[in-house]
Amino acid sequence: MEITKTTGDLSPQKIAQKTVYPILLMICFSHLLNDLMQSVIPSVYPLIKDKYNFSFSQIGIITFTYQITASLLQPLIGFYTDRKPQPYSLPLAMIFTMGGIIALSFADNFYFFLGAVALIGLGSSIFHPESSRVAYLASGGRKGLAQSIFQLGGHAGTAIGPLLAALIVIPFGQFSLIYFCIAACIGMLILSRIGKWYEEHLQFRKKYSSDNSQAHVEGISKNRVMISMAILLILLFSKYIYMASMTSYFTFYLIDKFNISVEYSQYYLFAFLASVAVGTMIGGPVGDFIGRKYVIWISILGVAPFTWLLPHMNLEWTVIFAILIGLILSSAFSAIMLYATDLVPGKIGTIAGLFYGLMFGIAGIGSAALGWIADRTSIEYVFTICSYLPFIGIIAIFLPNIRNPQSESSRK
């Protein structure tokens, strides 16, 4: 099948200049399915904690195992695929994730759970670098929009996971997790089609990459680039430690402080994660228009007043503040990663693998550490200390302003 048939009769030259929405929507939906299955892990924590008498520390170690498995391999896979792209590695990622879901449905002890989540982490480590490259190639230069569409799928899947857990897993038990394999089978079919488009597109990749690589950091020294990358990593730390507190422990916080049921806690977690999905869609296009630095600044530091006040609110205001936090904070990752690709052009897979890997690694270490703290203090104390993390966002002021010629032209 020729490229022109899979992209709405566009010629090769036009493909380089126009956003290929069918491919973006397909990779968005694939990301939704991938992250939906991954979000099952924290969604069933209250169930398995009671069933197997796990401590908060063990819950944190389960998250740590999943996140570290994903984080260690992603930079290596991204570095390798920058040199040798692997279009058909995408459906392979779904196979590993499906294997982890099957194992999770049968797991009956702590170490079995660790092996199951490690398989899911391996699937994630393969999926994200190459799928990010697909979004980049299909962007037509509108990188922020493309990354937001791609991220929207992931966050929507992460939000739907707890909802499905509340409707399926909580009422029918652990074995019902196996029904999520349907999502993996659908994902494999879609990603096989995307892989074919990607393979056909590779013959144009070097030409388009060389065009895009001209639009970067003129006048910024290598030392300044390295300092800027370090600032981005610190900002990732503040964002994903806080996100780890919400995704892994928000349900426990609500149950412990407000004495609500497990089912209702899942609905409130869904509300938070849904707001993250909505906010993600806003951040990319805004970054294309006003600049990624300002989106980073607003999304991390701007959320600080809400995180600081959240531990002092009643149930209704806690949920409202959680939704506002999700909306504001969610745009940061796309802006940070694209800002990094502007600093180091031509390394899409490496940057995507590094930043996704760090995202999972930071969240995993943070979740384990927060679980350890919760066992020795309380869940409320965890949310109190995490409330100060977004104030780290003030260091974004030291990031240089980077002009993106593609975004400049998109305004005209």
Q: Residue 101: its pLDDT value, please? A: 93
Q: Residue 103: its pLDDT value, please? A: 93
356 CA to centre of own chain: 7
| Nearest to 24, CA basis, from 11, 6, 4 | 6
Q: Are 335 and 296 in contact (CB under 8 A)?
A: yes
Q: Which residues of 22-39 are buried (b: 16+ CB within 10 A; e: fewer)?
A: ebbebbbbbbbbbbbbbb
User: Is the pTM value of this prediction over 0.85?
Assistant: no
- Residue 313: phi and psi, rounded to 5, are -100, 160
3-state secondary structure of 8: coil
Q: Residue 226: its pLDDT value, please? A: 85
Contacts of 202 by beta carbon, 8 Å cutoff, 6+ apart: 85, 87
User: What CATH fold (topology level) applies to the domain 10-411?
Assistant: Growth Hormone; Chain: A; (1.20.1250)
Q: Residue 218: its pLDDT value, please? A: 56
Q: Are 37 and 183 in contact (CB under 8 A)?
A: yes
Q: Which position has the token pair 């980049």?
A: 136
Q: How far apart are CA 130 and CA 201, in angstroms?
A: 13
Q: Residue 262: its pLDDT value, please? A: 81
CA dihedral 138, 87, 359, 239 (to 10 degrees): 10
For residue range 354-392, list pLDDT tens digits in order: 777 777 677 767 877 888 898 899 999 999 999 999 998
The stretches in the chain having pLDDT less than 50 are 1-12, 208, 210-216, 405-412
Q: Are 235 and 293 in contact (CB under 8 A)?
A: no
Domains of the chain, by residue range, sit at: 10-411
Q: Residue 4: its pLDDT value, please? A: 43
- Locate 133 and state its tokens: 């490259």
